[in-house]
């Protein structure tokens, strides 16, 4: 069927109607018209395997989630100032998934808002503002979040590091100064957080309010921290009088396979946990969970109200997402498919000299491309070329990391071995084609 509004027409309208700071994927722009499990279907009816959308956690247009939205939207949708068992049922079920005293939830509409609230809770409780962040971190799109996101403020269009923010060295065991996943490497990187804590004390005469980090770095290029890194960092931050916040927006909710939360891989328990993206499967839902003690301190007289956060439709969605994760055993799928994919990537690395590093946990993985295995010269153009090549074959992925040379994979969790094979076969062909066309092919 002929599409009355093909991509070229939409692109022209978009240039006039939508703010130009919004980018669009691929040189050959795609118009998606339908989603189905791990698949996206474009205007011409072509099916693409989605290997990168971690928001649609339980699959595009998951029927249970769609039914939950429709059902609750037809019954009641209002704010949280009336009693409802939905928000209580969901809070109790969600916090049951968390260790320790992490038993009090706040519901908001985006990861940005959730991180904003997490920092407000920490800063209010501690009565100070300074924050230690990781290099290349991204925590959201608001002014307050760009301030704690070196990935944004250090880049083009950014601004100088705010004086209340200290940037700790990126604990990258492949490219950073300390190599490998050992505890020695973890402790060495954690030493840089000690430097940041001292810098805060020297500047302000007191400790930092908080340390915030993803449990595995997403925009930093799927970087898994060395063993013991967060453990050592949390100890130091707490000893200095600060709180620890885990941003689980990308890596939470069973994606890493072995555990439900990314921080569990590092053997730590945060003071505040931030969740977003997958929690609503694309419906705007995000959450902050903290301890009763911190929640009580935050209730200092100023109300926290959120027009949409925690509404009955969102709560029904959150519940449906957990039902599907548990009902379909998706954490186990992430573990098994994830291991299989990582094995195939490692096998590919034996034939593809461009592959410098294969890393990740579960269905959260990355393949870093380099031109030289010794100097680690980034193969940025090649990474873009590979992503475009597999797109031509009908598979969607992306590149990321500070050098934009990491192939990034974080598919919907309904990604089985069959889907992993489609992705990996496409990658094999792309690497072979690139090798056959010579080093200048990628430009
Ligand atoms: N934290 C992390 C780690 C993220 O990846 C993102 C989004 N890319 C956010 C926070 C912000 O979430 P949102 O876009 O929902 O505001």
Place of tokens 């601004």: 159
> pLDDT tens digits, residue range 46-75?
999 999 999 999 999 999 999 999 999 999
Q: Are strands 243-247 and 210-214 parallel, antiparallel or unpaired?
A: parallel
On whether residue 266 sits in a domain, the answer given is yes
Co-location of 432 and 338 in the same domain? yes
Q: Tell which phi-psi region holds residue 214, choosing left (phi > 0), alpha (psi between -120 and 50) or beta.
A: beta
On whether residue 1 sits in a domain, the answer given is no
Return the beta strands (E) in 113-240 as ranges.
131-134, 165-168, 210-214
Other beta carbons within 10 Å of 32: 14
Which structural domain range is residue 274 located in? 63-327
Cα 229 to Cα 232: distance, rounded to the nearest angstrom: 5
Co-location of 129 and 33 in the same domain? no
Contact at 8 Å (CB) between 48 and 39?
A: yes
Out of 276, 285, 306, give the residue to mutate to test ligand 1, the one with the largest number of ligand atoms within 8 Å of its CB: 276
> pLDDT tens digits, residue range 296-321?
999 999 999 999 999 999 999 999 99
| Residues paired with residue 243 on neighbouring β-strands, in sequence order | 210
Report which of 376, 375, 363, 381 is spatially closest to residue 439, judged by C-alpha positions: 381
Among candidate residues 290, 305, 327, the one where a domain is terminated: 327
Report the pocket of ligand 1 as residue ranges, CB < 6 Å: 110-112, 115, 138-141, 214, 218, 247, 249-250, 276
pLDDT of 438 above 80: no
Co-location of 101 and 146 in the same domain? yes
pLDDT for the residue numbered 201: 97
Contact at 8 Å (CB) between 203 and 163?
A: yes
Helix ranges restricted to H, 35-180:
63-73, 85-95, 111-126, 143-146, 150-153
Mean pLDDT across 368-395: 98
> pLDDT tens digits, residue range 174-188?
999 999 999 999 999
Q: What is the ipTM of this complex?
A: 0.99
Instruction: Give the position, in ligand 1's atom list, of the atom nearest the Cα of 113.
Output: 16
pLDDT band of residue 1 (cuts 50, 70, 90) is low
Out of 52, 107, 111, 212, give the residue to mutate to test ligand 1, the one with the largest number of ligand atoms within 8 Å of its CB: 111
Out of 138, 144, 251, give the residue to mutate to test ligand 1, the one with the largest number of ligand atoms within 8 Å of its CB: 138
Mean pLDDT across 42-46: 95
Other beta carbons within 10 Å of 416: 14
Report which of 221, 149, 190 is spatially closest to residue 376, judged by C-alpha positions: 221
What are the distances in angstroms from CA 138 to CA 161, 165, 174, 199, 379? 14, 13, 20, 22, 23
Mean pLDDT across 352-357: 98
Cα 317 to Cα 357: distance, rounded to the nearest angstrom: 37
What total of structural domains would you count in the chain? Answer: 2
Among candidate residues 327, 350, 374, the one where a domain is terminated: 327
Co-location of 37 and 97 in the same domain? no
CATH value at residue 336 = 3.90.1150.10
Among candidate residues 264, 292, 327, the one where a domain is terminated: 327
Co-location of 139 and 168 in the same domain? yes
435 alpha carbon – ligand 1 mean position (Å): 35
Cα 132 to Cα 158: distance, rounded to the nearest angstrom: 19
Mean pLDDT across 329-349: 98
Cα 111 to Cα 442: distance, rounded to the nearest angstrom: 35
């Amino acid at each position: 069927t002929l599409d009355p509004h093909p991509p070229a027409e939409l692109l022209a309208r978009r240039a006039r109607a939508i703010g130009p700071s919004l980018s669009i994927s691929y040189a050959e722009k795609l118009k998606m018209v339908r989603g189905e499990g791990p698949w996206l279907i474009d205007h011409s009816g072509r099916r693409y395997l989605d290997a990168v959308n971690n928001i649609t956690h339980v699959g595009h247009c998951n029927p249970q989630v769609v039914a939950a939205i429709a059902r609750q939207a037809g019954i009641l949708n209002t704010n949280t100032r009336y009693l409802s068992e939905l928000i209580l049922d969901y809070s109790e079920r969600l916090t049951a998934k968390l260790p320790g005293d992490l038993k009090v939830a706040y519901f908001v509409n985006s990861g940005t808002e959730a991180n904003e609230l997490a920092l407000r809770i920490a800063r209010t409780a501690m009565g100070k503002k300074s924050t230690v962040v990781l290099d290349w971190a991204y925590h959201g799109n608001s002014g307050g979040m760009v301030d704690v996101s070196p990935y944004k403020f250090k880049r083009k269009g950014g601004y100088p590091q705010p004086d209340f923010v200290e940037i700790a060295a990126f604990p990258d065991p492949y490219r950073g100064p300390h190599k490998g996943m050992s505890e020695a490497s973890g402790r060495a990187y954690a030493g840089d957080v000690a430097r940041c804590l001292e810098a805060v004390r020297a500047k302000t005469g007191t400790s930092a309010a908080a340390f915030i980090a993803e449990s595995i770095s997403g925009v930093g290029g799927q970087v898994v921290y060395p063993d013991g890194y967060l453990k050592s960092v949390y100890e130091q931050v707490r000893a200095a009088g600060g709180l620890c916040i885990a941003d689980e927006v990308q890596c939470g909710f069973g994606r890493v396979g072995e555990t439900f939360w990314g921080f569990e891989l590092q053997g730590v328990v945060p003071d505040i946990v931030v969740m977003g993206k997958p929690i609503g499967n694309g419906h705007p839902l995000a959450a902050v969970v903290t301890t009763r003690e911190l929640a009580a301190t935050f209730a200092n007289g100023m109300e926290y109200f959120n027009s949409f956060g925690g509404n009955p439709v969102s709560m029904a969605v959150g519940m449906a997402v957990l039902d599907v994760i548990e009902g379909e055993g998706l954490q186990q799928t992430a573990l098994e498919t994830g291991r299989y994919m990582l094995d195939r990537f490692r096998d590919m690395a034996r034939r593809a000299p461009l592959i410098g590093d294969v890393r990740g946990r579960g269905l959260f993985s990355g393949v870093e491309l380099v031109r030289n295995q010794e100097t680690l010269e980034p193969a940025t153009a090649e990474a873009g070329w590979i992503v475009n090549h597999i797109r031509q074959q009908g598979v969607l992925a992306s590149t990321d990391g500070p050098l934009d040379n990491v192939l990034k994979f974080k598919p919907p969790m309904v990604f089985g071995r069959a889907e992993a094979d489609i992705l990996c076969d496409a990658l094999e062909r792309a690497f072979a084609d690139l090798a056959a066309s010579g080093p200048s092919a990628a430009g």
